[in-house]
Amino acid sequence: WAPEDYPDPIRLPELCGRVNWTASFVCDPDGILTSSEADLLDVELITTVRDTPCPCDTCPGKNDGYNIAVALMKRMATTGSGASSTQVRAQGFAMYLRAVAWDYGRCDEGVVILVSTEDRQ
């Protein structure tokens, strides 16, 4: 997967393998988790948003705290030169999702956990 091609589980959950969800914090287009495992993970992530306080000064009512999203894939696409280490590519991929493609937070309270099984990241 390339960062710019990776689907958004909030806007397009079906492309993330989340067919019974209208929105999700889990994106698993390669089917690494079972549907039940992804459901359990989603429930925990939604609970985290609901049960943690918002760290921003601008949050109405200080509810809806930390947004944690999980991006699972078998393999990341290599960069043009192929010289970047796998860890550097994984960090860049996660940062792109967090800050550009998904951008779920309001004041830098968003977290993206990236798992790339064949890259061992």
Q: How many domains does the chain have?
A: 1
Q: How many CA atoms lie within 13 A of 36 on its CB side?
A: 0
Compute the distance between CA of residue 38 and CA of residue 42 in angstroms, rounded to an integer: 6
pLDDT in tens, 15-40: 999 988 899 999 999 999 999 999 99
Task: Provide the whole-model pTM.
Answer: 0.89
Residue 121 lies in a domain: no
CB proximity list for 78: less than 8 A, separation 6 or greater: 89
Residue 103 lies in a domain: yes
Residue 88 lies in a domain: yes
Domain that holds residue 45: 3-116
Residue 43 lies in a domain: yes
pLDDT in tens, 75-90: 999 766 555 788 899 9
Residue 17 lies in a domain: yes
Compute the distance between CA of residue 100 and CA of residue 5 in angstroms, rounded to an integer: 12
Residue 102 lies in a domain: yes
